[in-house]
């Protein structure tokens, strides 16, 4: 959920910045919604993979060893 909120906040800001930045070049390139959707999807997939890996690692850990080191 935090990834989605961060994307909703960042997309308009980055769109405005990139629009102004790209105006300074001779060849005009437009920034489409597909670029933002793809980066948001990649961020969401990476967050799910990393969180899933940490959950898998925590579920497989021996509780006795964890409590001993705390």
C-alpha span between 55 and 34 (Å, rounded):
31
Rounded alpha-carbon distances, angstroms, from residue 9 to 12, 25, 41: 7, 27, 15
Structure tokens at 34: 């597909």
Other beta carbons within 10 Å of 15: 15
What tens digit of pLDDT does each residue of 15-60 get? 999 888 888 888 888 788 888 889 889 999 999 999 999 999 988 8
Question: Does 7 score more than 90 pLDDT?
Answer: no
User: Is the full-model pTM beyond 0.95?
Assistant: no
Q: What is the pLDDT of residue 9?
A: 92
């Amino acid at each position: 959920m935090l990834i989605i909120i961060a994307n909703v906040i960042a997309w308009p800001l980055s769109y405005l910045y990139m629009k102004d930045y790209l105006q300074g070049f001779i060849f005009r390139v437009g920034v489409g919604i597909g670029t933002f959707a793809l980066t948001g999807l990649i961020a969401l997939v990476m967050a799910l993979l990393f969180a899933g890996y940490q959950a898998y690692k925590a579920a497989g850990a021996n509780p006795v060893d964890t409590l001993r080191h705390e």
